[in-house]
Amino acid sequence: MSDPIETVEGWYALHDFRQIDRPAWANLTANERDAAISELQALAEDWQETEDNHEGSTGIYQIIGHKADLLFVNMRPAMDDLASIELAVDQSTAGQVLRRPYSYFSVVELSKYLVKSSQPFTELPGVKERLFPILPKTHYICFYPMNKRREGNDNWYSLSREQRREIMKGHGIIGHRYADRVTQIITGSQGLDDWEWGVTLYSDDTLDFKKLIYEMRFDEASARFAEFGPFMVGRRLAPGRLGPIFG
Amino acid sequence: MSDPIETVEGWYALHDFRQIDRPAWANLTANERDAAISELQALAEDWQETEDNHEGSTGIYQIIGHKADLLFVNMRPAMDDLASIELAVDQSTAGQVLRRPYSYFSVVELSKYLVKSSQPFTELPGVKERLFPILPKTHYICFYPMNKRREGNDNWYSLSREQRREIMKGHGIIGHRYADRVTQIITGSQGLDDWEWGVTLYSDDTLDFKKLIYEMRFDEASARFAEFGPFMVGRRLAPGRLGPIFG
Amino acid sequence: MSDPIETVEGWYALHDFRQIDRPAWANLTANERDAAISELQALAEDWQETEDNHEGSTGIYQIIGHKADLLFVNMRPAMDDLASIELAVDQSTAGQVLRRPYSYFSVVELSKYLVKSSQPFTELPGVKERLFPILPKTHYICFYPMNKRREGNDNWYSLSREQRREIMKGHGIIGHRYADRVTQIITGSQGLDDWEWGVTLYSDDTLDFKKLIYEMRFDEASARFAEFGPFMVGRRLAPGRLGPIFG
Amino acid sequence: MSDPIETVEGWYALHDFRQIDRPAWANLTANERDAAISELQALAEDWQETEDNHEGSTGIYQIIGHKADLLFVNMRPAMDDLASIELAVDQSTAGQVLRRPYSYFSVVELSKYLVKSSQPFTELPGVKERLFPILPKTHYICFYPMNKRREGNDNWYSLSREQRREIMKGHGIIGHRYADRVTQIITGSQGLDDWEWGVTLYSDDTLDFKKLIYEMRFDEASARFAEFGPFMVGRRLAPGRLGPIFG
Amino acid sequence: MSDPIETVEGWYALHDFRQIDRPAWANLTANERDAAISELQALAEDWQETEDNHEGSTGIYQIIGHKADLLFVNMRPAMDDLASIELAVDQSTAGQVLRRPYSYFSVVELSKYLVKSSQPFTELPGVKERLFPILPKTHYICFYPMNKRREGNDNWYSLSREQRREIMKGHGIIGHRYADRVTQIITGSQGLDDWEWGVTLYSDDTLDFKKLIYEMRFDEASARFAEFGPFMVGRRLAPGRLGPIFG
């Protein structure tokens, strides 16, 4: 009966949310604060170099609200790379004041719901760029995890492949309408983290996040089948701008 | 099938709830305490100046109960303004004793459910004042986030636009009856925070909050379709009255 | 369609639960401990004086279990009074060791489900005593918040007024049977706190709480429509007996 | 319509779970550590003396996993006794390092579902021993709280007394089959704590807990109607063996 | 009506997740840090010796994300062994900086759904190796707890034995297809911990975890009946590699 759609995976992603422990920061000496920021900047430069070498991608953001202060997003070929990056932050001087309120581990995923080509999938135009994406440099980011519902009559995983394809088509149409304003990266996390997917949106206007999500919610894919985790919104920090967040 | 109602957005809002860490406060020196309060007052004066210049709005409240001690509400043209305000509080001396138990990021939203005019919406009388509202100076505030339910037969997003309009009309009638006593600001937060809307109520009598919410709960819009987050109630702090809350 | 029963409100209530931070207490000097207790006793005497003047009511309890150590219940004419009381505790020396694990803000509520008199409600015998109650001096207290359910076929707010009245009548009959052993104070909290009602029970025998709640659960009002929050049980602390709780 | 089964109650129970704050423990002086353990041992001896006098019962256990390190179970004639015991632990030297991650307050309960005798219930053989039980000295303990479900068609409290009796009979048959290996103490907590019942199991083999719970889950009483809280498993600490847990 | 499948149990398992308190670690002296790591290494060597003697099994992993830093998995003949291991970590010097964000206590379980042999179960080929498993030395580990659903029409425990057998057969077919890439250890935890089962997966490719879980979710056993707890993913730490995690 089980009739899953094939998926293709790319880079692994770690969304690493951090909170600055303000009293602990205030208790550091001036030297320790300088070390904390310069070590973190050095890590950020390493990450950028990896991106420049097309061996991964990276983004640093200030998150609004109480849920986090900072977000480091890194994409790499293997989970080991991401575990090492997380550990490097924790073991740096800044690691003494950077709490970890949330994180998300997932892998870039493309599903073949709407593919009909006979060509090998990964050779289709644009597929490699989507599997191994350079994170957009837009001003804003929005991240949220989600599930497909499995409740009573609203059980996504009991639908036929054809029913799912039909529903996803409607969903895709809305996404396409926003395509020139919002870049969307879907990462799969079944077996990797607590929700089934992570959604990372990039735009130069936070209103696009609201409009897109609002419109999609009336679509059957969301109305009947989507369950959402926390939403985190941030603004991109240009290289070298980490210091002002610590203050 | 998806048939959303168009919405129009105004200022962005950050409801920034804070708890005073009493032992940490007791450990500050007298000089640090003076600095903490005078810096915070200076920030509050800046925010007021912004309001005086019609470039945003601001309100400071004492919250009752264990959920928070203080609430800063700021409305601004862009998320960046709000992120900077939050950071300024965190980096001030008071930031060392002000924990962040909750916050809410949203944007003022008007929906066109009941509009029939052929005139451009934003030119209708009162619309601009509602999109870019000066926060009322009433004695009390009530804030809560909410969703429209998507469960089994009670799925708001599967209703037709006409059904939704009909249900919202009944809801609006109750609201209108309280209009001279309670000012209501609806902010949308799909794609911005964990619930779909924030509701901020202003009144000179806390009983109005209870009466309004109680009466609305029997209305189909709430009875069948509303899911509520935490309710936070506070009283307005007049400028210069922040110090006595710290003590 | 909305057909709410009219309610009448009396004093506002703050149930203020506190935990003693034992290591912080151990770190206070003997002088600070003396100050902590004598200041708190002075506050308790103020509250008692308010009760003696019929301008409010007050009760102090030791709570069993990990959820809290102490409970201060105060009833006052306005939310401002309660916010000031909470602040006075926080700003006292004891405030440095009294964490706030829970609280509840609500207002005494009488509903007119079973009233048929043509007389003005508040002039009926006993009504004023119930709207502005002097908290019983029984040995034990039980507090819990609750909602009426709004799920599928079990949606309290979609019932007609007549159906609700019928169900509440059965509920009242059980309550009446316990009336000489258990005093019940219902406070409404729609628009004020996270649940719809608070229930405060007073008795000289904790078994009465169990028997009453158990029996009511088989009643349709509870079986189909009640959702319960945490239950907190305590014993009354006579004036001057706060010190032994700190130790 | 309400048709509850009569229950009979015995001793009150406090399950008091504790976590050792390891850094705080390491910061105590050698003298303080000695005092912490010897004071706790003295309390345990008092409790044992109470049991020897048949005025209550007591048990001390090491809990496996992160949820707790220690469990003190005490049974006493009144809630006041248990509140005093909890306070004595908190105010002892050990109280500075013993956090309270969980607790449960309840009262021994026998229900008359299967009783047909015309004799007064409490005079039936074995009833007094079950109402005022000396806690078994088996090697292992398992505790969990539970509710009877009240959802849609699976509403325990809407069943007739006869239906409930029939379902409980099947449940009892499984329990009887384990009777020589597992001792079960049911404590009621409606109106006393957050769940409706506490279940405390005693055995010399932890596998018995798994087998019993597993088998019962297929029984209608559990399959359709049981909702379970956290499960805590521990091993009994013989008198004088508290010290090695602190280390 | 109750018709459970017989299960056979092997070693007990404790999945002991730990977080390194970075500020506390920074506050240790160099000597204390050396002691912390060398004591932990000594414990790890003891555990390995137990495995070498076929008296249990052991594995140490670095966990990705904010949920934990380290995972110790130990399997032993009795719960007492596991309680002693947990205590030894807590009482070591490292115990002062190793918080316990999560743990899971369970026992290796084989169910006889698909067994038809007349031979005694534990004498079937491979059964002993599965009841008393040496934990695989693959590069990656994935752990998650789960329940079988008991809701409305989706109630696993109300199905007949034959229905359950049929559903589990489909489930097993998917598992078999991954058998050469993923090793799966099922541990039962009814009566032992908060979920009904723990699932521990081992593979040299984290993508296998995602692919296996994704594919199974379309299977009726998961689609209709599975409820999942948190997912934790880690990489194996070779003996002697604990120190670099502390840094």
Question: How close B97 comes to chain A (CA, Å)?
Answer: 7
pLDDT for the residue numbered D53: 97
The yes-or-no verdict on residue D27 having pLDDT over 90 is yes
Contacts with D55 (C-beta within 8 Å, 6 or more apart), sequence order:
D76, D77
Give the model's pLDDT for residue C170.
86
Task: For A189, name the nearest residue in chain E, comparing CA atoms only.
Answer: E210
Residue D114: which pLDDT band, with cuts at 50, 70 and 90? low
State the CB neighbour count (10 A cutoff) for residue A99: 16
Interface touch A83/E62, C-beta < 8 Å: yes
Which residue shows structure tokens 């945490």?
C230
Neighbours of chain B (3+ CB pairs under 8 A): A, C
**Interval A212-237: pLDDT, tens:** 999 999 999 999 999 999 999 999 99
Which residue of B96, B102, B192 is in closest CB contact with A210?
Answer: B192
Note the residue count of chain E: 247
**Cα dihedral A170, A171, A174, A180 in deg (nearest 10):** -130
Per cent of chain C over pLDDT 70 is 97
Instruction: Collapse the DSSP code of B73 into the 3-class scheme (helix H, G, I; strand E, B; otherwise coil) and give the result.
Output: strand
Residues A112, A8: contact at Cβ < 8 Å?
yes
Provide, rounded to the nearest whole percent, the portion of chain E with pLDDT above 90: 88
Among the listed residues E54, E52, E49, the one whose alpha carbon sits nearest the alpha carbon of residue E85: E49
- Bigger pLDDT: C1 vs D50: D50
The partner residue sitting opposite C83, judged by closest CB among B62, B174, B214, is B62
pLDDT at A122 exceeding the cut of 90 = no
Which residues, listed in sequence order, are joined to residue C236 by a DSSP beta bridge? C61
Asked if C105 and B26 come within 8 Å (Cβ–Cβ), the reply is: no
Inter-chain residue contact E2 with D215, CB threshold 8 Å: yes
Output phi, psi for A200, to 5 deg. Answer: -120, 120
Q: Say which DSSP state A49 is in.
A: H
D with C: touching (≥3 Cβ pairs within 8 Å):
yes
Minimal Cα–Cα distance from B160 to chain A, Å? 10
Q: List, in sequence order, every beta strand (DSSP E) within chain A.
A: 7-20, 57-63, 70-76, 98-111, 140-148, 150-151, 154-155, 183-188, 197-203, 226-228, 232-236
Query: How much is the pLDDT for A177?
Result: 94
Q: Name the band, by pLDDT with cuts 50, 70 and 90, for residue B153.
A: very high
Closest residue, chain B, to A210 (C-alpha): B191
Model pLDDT, residue E125:
86
| pLDDT at A117 exceeding the cut of 70 | no
Q: In sequence order, which residues have a C-beta less than 8 Å from that of residue A114 and are 6 or more positions away? A: A165, A168, A169, A172
Beta strand extents in E69-132 (DSSP E only):
70-76, 98-111
CA of E3, closest CA in chain A: separation in Å? Answer: 24
Whether the pLDDT of residue A203 is over 80: the answer is yes
Where does the pLDDT of residue B52 fall: very low under 50, low under 70, confident under 90, or very high at 90 and above?
A: very high
So what's the pLDDT on residue C208? 98
Residue B180 has pLDDT above 90, yes or no: yes
Average pLDDT over chain C reads 95
In one letter, which amino acid is E106? S
Q: Give me the amino acid identity at B161.
A: R
- Whether residues A212 and B194 touch (CB distance < 8 A) is answered with no
Whether D103 and C66 lie within 8 Å, measured CB to CB? yes
Q: Which residues in chain B are closer than 8 Å to C100, comparing Cβ atoms?
A: 65-66
Instruction: Supply the mean pLDDT for chain E.
Output: 95
Number of H helices and E strands in chain C, helices first, is 8, 11
B169, B125 contact by CB (below 8 A): no
Q: What is the pLDDT of residues E86-124, one digit of tens each?
A: 999 999 999 999 999 999 999 999 988 766 667 788 788
| Token pair listed for C68 | 């809290």
Tell me the chain A residues in contact with residue E213 when contact means C-beta distances shorter than 8 Å.
190-191
* Gap between the Cα atoms of B105 and B191, Å rounded: 10
Which tens digit of pLDDT belongs to each residue from C188-216?
Answer: 999 999 999 999 999 999 999 999 999 99
Cβ-based burial of A238 (10 A; exposed 0-12, middle 13-18, buried ≥19) = exposed
Q: How far apart are CA D216 and CA D173, in angstroms?
A: 10
Active site positions of A, annotated: 144
Which residues on chain B are in Cβ contact (under 8 Å) with A181?
none
Report chain B residues whose CB lies below 8 A from the CB of C191: 142, 201, 209-214, 231, 233
HSE of B155 in the Cβ direction (CA atoms, 13 Å)?
Answer: 20
Contact between C209 and D191 using a beta-carbon 8 Å cutoff: yes
Model ipTM? Answer: 0.96
CB within 8 Å of A207: residues ≥ 6 apart:
B9, B107
Residue D59 C-alpha, separation from nearest chain E C-alpha, in angstroms: 18
* pLDDT band (50, 70, 90) for residue C114: low
CA atoms of A229 and A221, how far apart (whole Å): 16
Catalytic one among D140, D144, D178, D202? Answer: D144
Best residue of C37, C204, C206, C242 to probe chain D, by most D CBs closer than 10 Å: C206
Residue of A nearest to B151 (CA): A224
Binary contact (B83, A215; C-beta < 8 A): no
Beta strands in D89-195 (DSSP E): 98-111, 140-148, 150-151, 154-155, 183-188
CB C86 within 8 A of CB B64: yes
pLDDT digits (tens, 9 = 90+) for B210-236: 999 999 999 999 999 999 999 999 999
Closest Cα in chain A, distance from residue E23 (Å) = 5
Judge contact between A18 and A69, C-beta under 8 A.
Answer: yes
Q: Would you say A104 and A137 are in contact if contact means Cβ atoms under 8 Å apart?
A: no
Which of A2, A83, A105 is opposite residue E218, by nearest beta carbon? A2
What does the angle CA A15 – CA A19 – CA A21 come to, to the nearest 5 degrees? 155
What pLDDT does D123 receive? 82
pLDDT at C230 over 90: yes
* Chain B residues close to A212, C-beta within 8 Å: 191
In this prediction, residues E138-159 reach a mean pLDDT of: 96
pLDDT at C115: 67
Which residues on chain C are in Cβ contact (under 8 Å) with B220? Answer: 1-2, 158
User: How many Å apart are CA E239 and CA E247, to the nearest integer?
Assistant: 16
Instruction: With CB atoms and an 8 Å threshold, state whether C62 touches D87.
Output: yes
> Three-class SS of residue C170?
helix
> Which among B17, B232, B192 has a CA at the least distance from the CA of B106?
B192
Yes or no, beta carbons of E190 and D210 under 8 Å apart:
yes
Judge: D157–C218 Cβ closer than 8 Å, yes or no.
yes
Instruction: Check residue A121 and give its pLDDT.
Output: 81
| C-alpha–C-alpha distance, residues B82 and B105, integer Å | 9
User: Across the interface, do D218 and E86 touch by the CB < 8 Å criterion?
Assistant: no
In this predicted structure, the answer to whether residue A137 has a pLDDT above a threshold of 90 is yes
**Model pLDDT, residue D37:** 97
Which residue segments constitute the domains of chain D, with CATH numbers given? 7-246 (3.30.70.1030)
Q: Where are the alpha helices (DSSP H) in chain D?
A: 22-27, 30-52, 79-91, 127-131, 161-177, 206-217, 220-223, 243-246
Q: Residue C81, by phi and psi: left (phi above 0), alpha (psi -120 to 50) or beta?
A: alpha
Q: Is the pLDDT of residue E6 over 70?
A: yes
* CB atoms inside a 10 Å sphere around CB D131: 17
| Closest to E69 measured CA to CA, from E97, E93, E41, E96 | E97
Chain B neighbors of C194, CB-CB under 8 A: 228, 230-231
- Which two tokens mark A215? 């419109």
The DSSP line for C53-120 is TTS-EEEEEEEPSTT-SEEEEEEESSHHHHHHHHHHHHHSGGGGTEEEEEEEEEEEEEE-TT---SS-
Confidence grade of residue B35 (pLDDT, cut at 50, 70, 90): very high
**Statement: residue E196 has pLDDT above 70:** yes
Q: Do chains C and B touch (3 or more CB pairs under 8 A)?
A: yes
Query: In this complex, do E201 and A194 lie within 8 Å of one another by their Cβ atoms?
Result: no
Shortest CA gap B131–chain C (Å): 24
Closest CA of chain A from B180, distance in Å: 31
Say if C and E touch: at least 3 Cβ pairs within 8 Å.
no
Query: For residue E226, what pLDDT is reported?
Result: 97
- Residue C9 has what pLDDT? 97
Catalytic site residue from E144, E178, E202, E214: E144
DSSP assignment of C15-57 equals: EEEEEE-HHHHHHS-HHHHHHHHHHHHHHHHHHHHHHHTTS-E
The Cα–Cα gap between B83 and B78 comes to 9
Of C144, C157, C178, C214, the catalytic one is C144
Which chain C residues contact residue D102 at CB under 8 A? Answer: 66
Checking if the pLDDT of C102 tops 70, the result is yes
Residue A123: band (very low, low, confident or very high) from pLDDT cuts 50, 70, 90: confident
Answer whether residue A201 shows pLDDT above 90: yes
Contact state of D214 with E9 under an 8 Å Cβ cutoff: no
Taking an 8 Å cut-off on Cβ atoms, the answer to whether E218 and A3 are in contact is yes
Smallest Cβ distance to D62: which of E83, E103, E150?
E83
Q: Tell me what pLDDT residue B232 has.
A: 98
Residue D175 token pair = 């329990």
Tokens of D152: 């849609």
Chain C CB contacts of D147 under 8 Å are none
Cβ-defined contact of B66 to C4 (cutoff 8 Å): no
What residue in B sits closest to A217 (Cα-Cα)?
B157
Residue for token pair 């706790």: D40
Instruction: For residue D247, give how far its alpha carbon lies from the nearest alpha carbon of chain E (Å).
Output: 6
Mutation target among D21, D22, D97, D174 for the E interface, most CBs of E within 10 A: D22
Query: In the structure encoding, which two tokens stand for residue C242, read together?
Result: 């706060």
pLDDT higher than 80, residue D1: no
- The pLDDT score that the predictor gives to residue B236 is 98
How do residues C40-93 score in pLDDT, each as one tens digit?
Answer: 999 999 999 999 999 999 999 999 999 999 999 999 999 999 999 999 999 999
Average pLDDT on E134-143 reads 98
User: Which one from B104, B140, B144, B178 is the annotated catalytic residue?
Assistant: B144
A161-177 and A206-217 helices, crossing angle to 10°: 150
Query: Are D101 and C154 an interchain contact pair (Cβ–Cβ within 8 Å)?
Result: no
Q: State the DSSP code for C148.
A: E
Query: CA-CA distances (angstroms) from residue B189 to A5, A211, A213, C104, E63?
Result: 32, 10, 10, 27, 33
The subunits that touch chain E, with at least 3 C-beta pairs less than 8 Å apart, are A, D
Query: What is the band of A1 on the pLDDT scale with cuts at 50, 70, 90?
Result: low
Whether residue D229 contacts residue D145, with contact meaning beta carbons closer than 8 Å, is answered with yes
